[in-house]
Structure 1
Amino acid sequence: MLKSLPLLDKKVLVPRGKNQAKPFVELVERYGGTPVEIPLIAFRPIAQNQRLHDCLMALDTYDWIIFTSNVTVDTFFSFFDMAGSSLPKIAVIGKKTADVLQHRGLQVEFVPSSFVAESFVEEFLPYVNSGARVLLPKGNLAREYIASALTEAGAAVDEVVIYETYMPEDSRVKLTKMLADHQLDILTFTSPSTVDHLMDVVREHGLEEQMESCLIGCIGPVTEKKLQEYGLTVHASPEEYTVAEMIKSMITYLEKGSAV
């Protein structure tokens, strides 16, 4: 059984921005930890361009549109006005993304059982006929796995970049100071980009030694692999790819360590 406050006295990095951080922060506080909000990743829509315009104008020619995240949904609808229009059939990677779309009054036709690209493709392929037209809006750093796998299976996939990913300058300053002063006990990562952005700061300021005292948790095998590529030990990586399970996994690690 977990202790009532298993994260007591632990400062936990919350790598999300204000719009996404609240549930994460509340979870850390619930277990007695001190959340430290330092967004490692932020998003901004790209400037309008001809390719994006052409894809939006031809929306009714697609059989499917795939949304891979809440950010993709919000950004897409900042460009596209639903009034008097309709969308192709909708597929998503995660349940939360499906919820966001359903709150907009849209029906989601496909949600995979596991929220990673490989599982999505494996389970989605039976729904895609050869020659099917698929629109895949994405960020500038998104993997190409889904598009390449569907193309190989005979689909005609149009990828269109609709937002770019960056690390806020305020976050770089705050992260540098807190790592240098050993003010973070647990580092959490929710995507490979969050890993890259943090490690850019670590390497720029020579903070590798300070990292050694931190515990590391992450969501998903792709993020875990990215951490390992940097030579970092991952202490918590749950089978279910959610923040709640990551925190529980870290607590389990801490409990086992205190029991030794």
Structure 2
Amino acid sequence: MTEGLNGLRILITRAQSAAQSMIADIEKRGGQALIAPVMTFQSLALTDNAQQKLKELGQYQWVMWTSANGVRFFMEHLKHLGLSLPSHVQLAAVGKKTAKALEEYGYATDFIPREYTAKALAAGMREEERGRVLLPLGRLAKDDLSETLTRLGFISERLNVYDTLCNEAIRPLLHQLILENRMDVVTFASPSAVRFFLTLIQPLDTTLFWKHVIIACIGEVTAEEVKRHGLTAQIIPKQYTASALIQSIAHYRSSIQKPTRRNKS
């Protein structure tokens, strides 16, 4: 039996285009999805050195992506330069959503880790032949994956293909939602989302807001960012997917609504 959300008002901080499955799942369970994307994305101009890396794609053994945005902006750069991925280069994606983005461009993914994290992606390469790896990333992405691959003996090269910016246009809506007490749960899918959300809700006094609202995060890294700002994520699904996040929220709601059994006197 599907656990319900019973009118729970859940804020999604990612773009609506990337949150369609979350919205559908929330509404199917009887919840209300509130959309307030706290970030926007834009392509980064490539340096001559970065363009050269794309022209030398045939010299890489692997190309690895940690997000669907990384795939899309990488493909845009390839198209602009009149290039394509060589057939012998192996492709890795951090999860099914990223792999689906690759599929939309006609490419099959050679490796997806069981856990949808950069750490698991790197760990899955332990048995692979060492070689040259290209990592198309967003400018704000950490170097964890690159550093781990380097320690394993790979030649890891980072390529920043897009930038992540704070969506200032959504500030008035966020303030309205907070002042009208219209949120029960706030969801975050990345550390950047946490930072941008906190920036956008300034200079409101949010003391009572944080006492009332439940924080749900996709992944321990995002939850750690929440903790770094003095807050606590109550919900972190074991599987780092949007579907698992909504399921975990429903389970959390169900568990706190269960009546406690009184001791017999």
TM-score (norm. length: structure 1): 0.92
From 67, 73, 76, the equivalent of 1:75 is 73
Q: Is the contact between residue 189 and residue 218 of structure 2 (CA under 8 Å) also seen in structure 1?
A: yes
From 11, 19, 22, the equivalent of 1:21 is 19
Q: Is the contact between residue 192 and residue 223 of structure 1 (CA under 8 Å) also seen in structure 2?
A: yes
Q: Is the contact between residue 14 and residue 193 of structure 2 (CA under 8 Å) also seen in structure 1?
A: no
Gaps of 5+ in 1: none
Which runs of 4 or more aligned residues in structure 1 lie more than 3 Å from their structure 2 counterparts after TM superposition?
Answer: 82-85
Offset of residue 48 of structure 1: 3.2
Q: Is the contact between residue 10 and residue 32 of structure 2 (CA under 8 Å) also seen in structure 1?
A: yes
The aligned residue for residue 109 of structure 2 is 108
Give the superposed CA RMSD: 1.8
Q: Provide the C-alpha distance between the structure 2 equivalents of 1:155 and 1:216, rounded to a whole number of angstroms.
A: 37
Q: Is the contact between residue 235 and residue 252 of structure 2 (CA under 8 Å) also seen in structure 1?
A: yes
SS of equivalent to 2:72: helix
Q: Is the contact between residue 21 and residue 243 of structure 2 (CA under 8 Å) also seen in structure 1?
A: no
Query: Which is further off, 115-124 or 228-237?
Result: 228-237
Offset of residue 65 of structure 1: 0.7
The aligned residue for residue 121 of structure 1 is 122
Q: Which amino acid aligns with 1:189?
A: F
Q: Provide the C-alpha distance between the structure 1 equivalents of 2:238 and 2:258, rounded to a whole number of angstroms.
A: 23
The aligned residue for residue 165 of structure 1 is 164
The aligned residue for residue 147 of structure 1 is 146
Q: Give deviations 1:107-129, integer Å, cap 9, x for gaps.
A: 22111111111111111122141
Are 1:8 and 2:6 an aligned pair? Answer: yes
The aligned residue for residue 236 of structure 1 is 235
Q: Provide the C-alpha distance between the structure 2 equivalents of 1:55 and 1:148, rounded to a whole number of angstroms.
A: 19
Offset of residue 102 of structure 1: 2.4
Q: Provide the C-alpha distance between the structure 2 equivalents of 1:204 and 1:127, rounded to a whole number of angstroms.
A: 50
Offset of residue 106 of structure 1: 1.3
Are 1:135 and 2:97 an aligned pair? Answer: no
SS of equivalent to 2:125: helix
Q: Give deviations 1:176-199, integer Å, cap 9, x for gaps.
A: 221122111111111111111112
Q: Provide the C-alpha distance between the structure 2 equivalents of 1:84 and 1:225, rounded to a whole number of angstroms.
A: 38
Q: Give deviations 1:140-170, integer Å, cap 9, x for gaps.
A: 1111011111112222111011101112112
Q: Cα gap change, 1:184/1:89 in structure 2, threshold over 3 Å: closer, same or farther?
A: same
Q: Which amino acid aligns with 2:257?
A: S
Q: Provide the C-alpha distance between the structure 2 equivalents of 1:152 and 1:167, rounded to a whole number of angstroms.
A: 33
